Structure 1
Amino acid sequence: MNISDGEPNSAPHKSRSKFWFGTSLAQFLKAELTDFPGRRIAATRLFVVSLIIALVSQTLHIPPLGAIALLICLSYDAYANVGQSLAFGLRQLGYLIVTTLVSVFTLMFAGNNAWLMLTLSFIILTIALFHARLIAWPTGIALWYSVAVLYTPSMPDENIYLALWNIPIIGVLALGSWTMVHLIIKPQDPRKQLKASIAAELAAVEHIFSTRLADSGIHSHRPVVLSKHSDAGSFGKILALLSNAELIYPAMRNQHDTYLALLLEIDGLRQLAIWLNQVLATEYRAQPMNSEKINVYLALQDACATLQQGVEESCDVSEQISLLLTEDVLYSYSQQSNPSVLTALWSALQRIAGLMHQLHQPATKQQNISIDSETDSSVAENWFPAWFGYEFWATHADSLQFGIKFSLGAILCMLIVQGLDWPDINTAIPTCLVAAQTSLGADYRLSILRLSGATLGGVCAYFYVMVFQPQLDTIVGFAFATAPFWAIAAWITAGSERIAYMGRQLGFSFALFVLHDFGAVTDLYLSRDRVIGILLGLIVMAVLDYALWPRRSVVLARHHSVSALRSLAKFTTRLPDLSYMLNYILPLRLSAEKDLAAGHDLLAHAVLEPDARLIAKVHERTALRTVIRDTSSLSALLQVRKRYRLLSGQQFSSFPDELQQHSHAFDTSLATALEYAALTLEGEQQKTWNQPADIHARLKQSYIEHHRIANLPADLAKEWEIRFMLDQQIMDLVENIQKNAQDLNPVSAGNGRSQKSVNSIE
């Protein structure tokens, strides 16, 4: 995973890398506006939706909410598959109905009482933002409510009328057209995407086996597929594809656990194969393999190819796999009592074949395995909702502060707009809600994109009025004249999140201008006032965000790193069997990946914060970036280690008591070391560090004596050397994490700065 946030390497590049992710503006635009097939499809979808909304708004003479509807559609994922778009549309429609009911109730109950309406609106916006932050979902409820209630609070009767129009305009026109376009224009079947992802992972593993065979002069005639590392969170995306496929194909839900286990096994196989490919030295690769080992690799390669074919053709290949992966071939190379990496790979392929066989059998009711009966009983005792307890609010205090702060900003902007009697700058109100991001740096970056997009949209609107509008007298002419601007907005929006928001604001600003009323545009001040309103909202939120509970990007990245380390500390537990991989390890892994991805994104935004250029802050970001990188690598290695222990043929219960004790002690020492690192990141100075190296040395000696590794053939002895190398890599990463955590400790950093000051005085 590349977690560079574009830190400047030299002084001349600091200014440009601060805003453009380590590149110049020209390089940034070149990268973000690049053409590729997927982007064409996404941009076409957004263009068609924008054109539909514009034409319907102008022909049916519905209330002037077309610009809001267009902004909503541009804000949704244009790359969504069929299941994802359907789920998103239904969920947002439900939120829209709730928002409409709440808006109408507020206007009827408190519309004629200004202070009561302000208080009630503040509470509603806070709850909406808190809920959105809690579930990591867009702030649609708060935005829709603000448009219906706060835009013109002095006219509650008219606002009730407009609020009731939200459902047909935003729900039917925006969400309906967005969903239908995704179902019509190049619809992406999530089940096909899921199959393609599984096949790609199997092909990557097959390529690794082919490369290893090529070391001995055996070349495959199959097309070469290059293996590559998956980014952090890629497994979560595959699980999302499974959820989307189950929405479209309900029969898949009956085998949900089997699908989960299959995806987990294939991902584990890929991780194990990639790790083996990385640790084999060039000198070792150059040594010829004996025929028994070659036969094992050939069987593994053929099994991968067969499984890939079975996935692509949706057929059961378990019988072919059982013929390929016969025990005689494996044990002619590796002794049955001697664990090995190839045995782990062999067992993984057998398990994958077995799970694929289950998928082709009639679905039966599946029962989840309970890991901790005490946990289940404790949950049963706490029958009341979690949000009744203090612990819930203490845990989510940041989300509550988030809701209070941005709701207060929206209310203040509404009061300013009403106090100035300047209703056309009411775009300041949604600006406060749209600017609600995870951290100060993210707020600032989004504000830059919002202001830039609004300015470009205003320029496009003036160009349209001066050049195209005088030539128009039909709706057809209007469609042709505005199409280039919808296309530009769609293309920019179809880019990555680093630039997509600029396209949304460009489209919204242009739509606000040309869809403000029916017929020709005569109010040329609209674009100017919109930009002024955005500036007002950004200024209000910049002051509030910095003064009231500031959420520093680096501080939040620390918290996510601490959470990831504590999740990984639980990885070291020795599981009794593979069934626990699904119920125990999978939730921990997804939690760790989510935290690491969030930490990475936060560091990318940290460079925009006011004191980002201070040497201490640069050092802090560098050290924390290293911690996140090493933690991500450690997560993969711990998963490899766990699969090796479960699949390599180890009979741990038959090992001597002394060896078992050393093994458990080593697991405990790793967990303790990660916990110490987490505590240090939180700011607690550790006087002593837990070093697992001594315990590992005793564990290694126990393995050598029990398995008589010194007497094994060279190849099998190398297998053990590789296994011990895995533990060494884990210990090295843990040590690096500890050192960087200590560098990040405020006490240590303060002592270091004090010492530097003394040296400079001397």
Structure 2
Amino acid sequence: MNNGDTQHTSVPHNSRSKLWFGTSLAQFLKVELKDSPGRRVAAFRLFIVALIISLVSQTLHVPPLGAIALLICLSYDAYANSGQALAFGMRQLGYIIVTTLVSVFTLMFAGNDAWLLLPLSLLIMAVALFHARLIAWPTGIALWYSVAVLYSPSTPEQAIYNALWNIPIIGVLAIGSWTVVHWAIKPQDPRNQLKASIAAQLAAVETIFTARLADGGVAIHKQVASKLFSAGSFGKTLCLLANTELVHPSMRKQHDTYLALLLEIDGLRQMAIWLDQVLTAEYRAQAMTQEKLDVYLALQSACAKLRQGIEESRDVSGQIEVLLTDEVLHSYSLQTNPSLLTAIWRAQQRIAVLMHDLHNPAAAPEVKITEAEIDSNEADGWFPAWFGYEFWATHADSLQFGIKFSLGAILCMLIVESLGWPDINTAIPTCLVAAQTSLGADYRLSILRVSGAILGGLCAYFYVLVFQSQLDTIVGFVLATAPIWAIAAWISSGSERIAYMGRQLGFSFATFVLHDFGQVTDLSVPSDRVIGILLGIGVMGVLDYALWPRRSIVLARHHSVAALRTLTKFTTRLPDLSLMLKHTLPLRLSAEKDLAAAQDLVIHAVLEPDARLTYKANERTALRAVIEAAGNLSGLLQIRRRYRLLSGQQFSSFPDELQEHSRTFDAALTSALENAALVLQGQQQEALTEVADIHAQLKQSYTEHHRIDSLPDDLAMEWELRFMLDQQIMELIEQIQRMAVNSISYRLKAGSTID
């Protein structure tokens, strides 16, 4: 017992930093409430939506529905472009129809039989939450169902009326006004955003080439501050493409060409940034030969032309063909000598061809990517995947998620009914709103929910005591409530670290002032709402901690393991360029998704009950290092794959011995990454082959075959860059292995289990 005691001392952190992401409250608010042009537009949209809902609520005598509609609107993305707003509105409208039908059917079938209504409701909400978790979408169906069915289970007739009318009214009032406002107030065309995103990537590459041209002893330029890999960035670009295709349906015919173009531009950016990062100041200061200067000048000019073509939506492939002639490239790099500049050169040529295909779709070759090609792990067969055991074993966590939070809503409904206190029924949706990815995320959201509810209640009391007695017209009501709607909209338009507080502030205030038509007389509404929220949080806190607790650090470790296993597939050599899109794209998205989730979970882990114990803090630090290294490794492995395919390397013409060394090195990298994943899972470490020794043999084989020692300095440097890429990959894998061992050892020394 004493051996573990030393591990359970508290980490000397300031208590406030745990709640405010490592800063003081003043610093947190300064950052989260900061002004920006984009935030002004987003907040103004939410403000207009809040005014519309409050006016409709008061003039059409539907006050109780106004507060719920307002919460729904404040919960949606205020920065959504027109395509995103349309997609969200259409999907939510479909969910409203489904919820209405399911609610009415449930009440008609089991409304008078509590013994049947409760388990049926548990099943329906669990399935809705499970589905929402799978597709990473808000829990709208479960939330609306609970409001329609569980708010008044003792009066099924009234509940049927609420389901038939209240849910559609809420949907039209909330989703309709939100969508219309986003299309009316400075609508953002996703196609323009997509073009700006692509142009920004090409501009970054152009800047690197421009600075490289200026290096010749004049001044050492400041390197571009960018990363090879940013978790979730490429996924966001693909979302922009999906939104663009919704607003501009004609683009759907060229979907695969756009995917290939986005992937090629992203790969070009990664190669250019890596080149910019690894060249030393001494090497930059050396004068370039005329042949090398011509290559850089052609690359810089071509990149500028590609950017202009994207910005102006015109075909520049003819100009690129003139600029990127093979004679210029081969005057610097021999065809038998692979180089990184050759890979960048070929990447720009491929981008130009894809841009030509976009402007001349009739002449473009048809490339179809089937679902089977995108996800090779899917089982073949005529029946859906969810009929098999593997599907449910893989998504057991999501299934537990749905059952647990549905059970919490049922328990809260029973408590509210047993107390005969319907005014605290906010406990029921609280259980569903608090349904987050992990225990730490639940706690974070609960803190924001309580804080926002209290602030909204205080604003409501201030409104009653100061303004209400002086108002007798709808104009006065709007003027008096407008500042509160503005504050709620401003906070809600912030980052996810604070946005939910603004939503709850607006909802609490709306629940009070829109509770009934005319002046508010029941001053217990805000306090009852806060009590209901605290009840829901308390019930879910107990369930969440006792029943299948989803510890943030454990989930972060699982996502990290999944990311490492995805990266192992990047080590294989593709036979030709035709497989680049269908093989690289799903791996890129999978790695991004897992690493982004792991990053968020490590942040949420700080809030969990034992987060300040020494071994917990050390474990978080080690896992954070694993996630960062895995992100960097993902970028390097993608560069390595592109180098092999685009650098002019004729692997099939290499001697058999060299090919064998290369395959052995690939297998060693795969084995090392798989071993790191096993260690992170807490499994026994396998015997490792010496990756460095294998790489040394490979390097020697390349040196002898290509006679690198006799090459000119520039061409020898190209090979040094190639070997440096492998060396950085090996070092990152070694770092991941070391941090994985540390992450597990901290937990084992404290006598805690891995899961």
- Regarding TM over 0.5, the answer is yes
Alignment-mate amino acid for residue 646 of structure 2: L
SS in 2 for 1:315: coil
Paired with 1:74 and 1:135, the residues of 2 have a C-alpha distance of 21
SS in 1 for 2:399: helix
> Residue 63 of structure 2 contacts residue 517 of structure 2 at CA under 8 Å; is this kept in 1?
no
Paired with 2:374 and 2:486, the residues of 1 have a C-alpha distance of 58
> Residue 673 of structure 1 contacts residue 689 of structure 1 at CA under 8 Å; is this kept in 2?
yes
> Residue 564 of structure 1 contacts residue 595 of structure 1 at CA under 8 Å; is this kept in 2?
yes
- The aligned counterpart of 1:453 is 452
Distance 1:372 1:47, change over 3 A: closer
Q: CA deviation at 1:114?
A: 1.4
Alignment-mate amino acid for residue 178 of structure 1: W
> Residue 224 of structure 2 contacts residue 273 of structure 2 at CA under 8 Å; is this kept in 1?
no
Alignment-mate amino acid for residue 368 of structure 2: N
- The aligned counterpart of 1:634 is 633
Alignment-mate amino acid for residue 623 of structure 2: L
> Residue 619 of structure 2 contacts residue 744 of structure 2 at CA under 8 Å; is this kept in 1?
no
Q: CA deviation at 1:231?
A: 2.8
- The aligned counterpart of 2:177 is 177
Q: CA deviation at 1:689?
A: 2.5
- The aligned counterpart of 1:62 is 62
Post-superposition Cα deviations, 1:472-494, rounded to whole Å, max 9, x if no partner, equal 11111111111100000000000
- The aligned counterpart of 2:129 is 129
Paired with 2:92 and 2:370, the residues of 1 have a C-alpha distance of 34
- The aligned counterpart of 1:337 is 336
> Residue 557 of structure 1 contacts residue 602 of structure 1 at CA under 8 Å; is this kept in 2?
yes
Q: CA deviation at 1:226?
A: 5.7
Find out whether 1:471 has 2:477 as its counterpart: no
Distance 1:92 1:520, change over 3 A: same
- The aligned counterpart of 2:661 is 662
Post-superposition Cα deviations, 1:453-500, rounded to whole Å, max 9, x if no partner, equal 000000000011111111111111111111100000000000000000
- The aligned counterpart of 1:200 is 200
1:631-710 alignment to 2 at 5 Å? 631-710=630-709
- The aligned counterpart of 2:299 is 300
- The aligned counterpart of 1:37 is 37
Distance 1:513 1:751, change over 3 A: closer
> Residue 103 of structure 1 contacts residue 148 of structure 1 at CA under 8 Å; is this kept in 2?
yes
- The aligned counterpart of 2:50 is 50
Q: CA deviation at 1:348?
A: 0.6
Paired with 1:694 and 1:369, the residues of 2 have a C-alpha distance of 39
Gaps of 5+ in 1: 1-9, 755-762
- The aligned counterpart of 1:383 is 382
Paired with 2:371 and 2:142, the residues of 1 have a C-alpha distance of 39
Paired with 2:225 and 2:680, the residues of 1 have a C-alpha distance of 35
Post-superposition Cα deviations, 1:395-442, rounded to whole Å, max 9, x if no partner, equal 111111111111111111111111111110000000000011111100
Find out whether 1:110 has 2:78 as its counterpart: no
- The aligned counterpart of 2:424 is 425
Post-superposition Cα deviations, 1:661-718, rounded to whole Å, max 9, x if no partner, equal 1111111111111111111111102152333111111111111011000000011101
- The aligned counterpart of 1:518 is 517
Distance 1:14 1:483, change over 3 A: same
> Residue 468 of structure 1 contacts residue 481 of structure 1 at CA under 8 Å; is this kept in 2?
yes
Paired with 1:250 and 1:517, the residues of 2 have a C-alpha distance of 45
> Residue 223 of structure 2 contacts residue 276 of structure 2 at CA under 8 Å; is this kept in 1?
no
> Residue 369 of structure 1 contacts residue 579 of structure 1 at CA under 8 Å; is this kept in 2?
no
- The aligned counterpart of 1:5 is none
Q: CA deviation at 1:216?
A: 1.1
Paired with 1:434 and 1:663, the residues of 2 have a C-alpha distance of 52
Q: CA deviation at 1:585?
A: 1.1
- The aligned counterpart of 2:212 is 212
Q: CA deviation at 1:753?
A: 7.9
Paired with 1:664 and 1:728, the residues of 2 have a C-alpha distance of 16
- The aligned counterpart of 2:5 is none
- The aligned counterpart of 1:405 is 404
Q: CA deviation at 1:166?
A: 3.2
> Residue 217 of structure 2 contacts residue 284 of structure 2 at CA under 8 Å; is this kept in 1?
no
Paired with 1:454 and 1:716, the residues of 2 have a C-alpha distance of 66
SS in 2 for 1:153: coil
Q: CA deviation at 1:50?
A: 0.6
Distance 1:480 1:395, change over 3 A: same
> Residue 400 of structure 2 contacts residue 548 of structure 2 at CA under 8 Å; is this kept in 1?
yes
Paired with 2:374 and 2:600, the residues of 1 have a C-alpha distance of 37
Paired with 1:49 and 1:434, the residues of 2 have a C-alpha distance of 21
- The aligned counterpart of 2:533 is 534
SS in 2 for 1:65: helix
Distance 1:752 1:667, change over 3 A: farther
Distance 1:378 1:63, change over 3 A: closer
Find out whether 1:723 has 2:735 as its counterpart: no
Paired with 2:139 and 2:321, the residues of 1 have a C-alpha distance of 52
Distance 1:334 1:11, change over 3 A: same
Determine what percentage of the aligned residue pairs are the same residue.
Answer: 74
Paired with 1:115 and 1:270, the residues of 2 have a C-alpha distance of 61
Distance 1:284 1:374, change over 3 A: closer
1:56-455 alignment to 2 at 5 Å? 56-62=56-62, 64-216=64-216, 228-229=226-227, 231-363=230-362, 366-368=366-368, 379-380=379-380, 382-455=381-454
- The aligned counterpart of 2:594 is 595
Post-superposition Cα deviations, 1:235-283, rounded to whole Å, max 9, x if no partner, equal 1111110000000111101111110000000000000000000000111
Alignment-mate amino acid for residue 183 of structure 1: W
Paired with 2:11 and 2:604, the residues of 1 have a C-alpha distance of 19
Paired with 2:653 and 2:419, the residues of 1 have a C-alpha distance of 81
Paired with 1:691 and 1:92, the residues of 2 have a C-alpha distance of 54
> Residue 427 of structure 2 contacts residue 535 of structure 2 at CA under 8 Å; is this kept in 1?
yes
> Residue 207 of structure 1 contacts residue 225 of structure 1 at CA under 8 Å; is this kept in 2?
no
Post-superposition Cα deviations, 1:702-741, rounded to whole Å, max 9, x if no partner, equal 1101100000001110110111000000000001111111
Paired with 1:507 and 1:751, the residues of 2 have a C-alpha distance of 47
Alignment-mate amino acid for residue 399 of structure 1: S
Paired with 1:491 and 1:723, the residues of 2 have a C-alpha distance of 50
SS in 2 for 1:64: helix
SS in 2 for 1:607: helix
RMSD over aligned Cα, in angstroms? Answer: 2.1
Q: CA deviation at 1:367?
A: 3.5
> Residue 107 of structure 1 contacts residue 160 of structure 1 at CA under 8 Å; is this kept in 2?
yes
Alignment-mate amino acid for residue 529 of structure 1: D
Alignment-mate amino acid for residue 329 of structure 2: L
> Residue 198 of structure 1 contacts residue 311 of structure 1 at CA under 8 Å; is this kept in 2?
yes
Q: CA deviation at 1:362?
A: 3.1
Q: CA deviation at 1:645?
A: 0.7
Post-superposition Cα deviations, 1:628-670, rounded to whole Å, max 9, x if no partner, equal 0000000000001011111111011111111111111111111
Paired with 2:459 and 2:224, the residues of 1 have a C-alpha distance of 45
> Residue 372 of structure 2 contacts residue 378 of structure 2 at CA under 8 Å; is this kept in 1?
no
Corresponding pairs, count: 741
Paired with 2:561 and 2:520, the residues of 1 have a C-alpha distance of 55
Paired with 1:733 and 1:559, the residues of 2 have a C-alpha distance of 19
SS in 1 for 2:332: coil
Q: CA deviation at 1:374?
A: 13
Paired with 1:371 and 1:715, the residues of 2 have a C-alpha distance of 44
> Residue 61 of structure 2 contacts residue 517 of structure 2 at CA under 8 Å; is this kept in 1?
yes
SS in 2 for 1:332: helix
Paired with 1:80 and 1:385, the residues of 2 have a C-alpha distance of 33
> Residue 558 of structure 1 contacts residue 624 of structure 1 at CA under 8 Å; is this kept in 2?
yes
Paired with 1:191 and 1:373, the residues of 2 have a C-alpha distance of 27
Paired with 1:356 and 1:702, the residues of 2 have a C-alpha distance of 39
SS in 2 for 1:694: helix
Which of the pair has the greater relative contact order for Cα pairs under 8 Å at 6+ separation?
A: 2
Q: CA deviation at 1:13?
A: 4.1
Paired with 2:367 and 2:226, the residues of 1 have a C-alpha distance of 35
> Residue 264 of structure 1 contacts residue 582 of structure 1 at CA under 8 Å; is this kept in 2?
yes
Q: CA deviation at 1:63?
A: 6.0
SS in 1 for 2:187: coil
- The aligned counterpart of 1:576 is 575
Q: CA deviation at 1:113?
A: 1.1
Runs of 4+ in 1 over 6 A off after TM superposition: 370-378
Q: Give the alignment's TM-score, normalised by structure 1.
A: 0.95
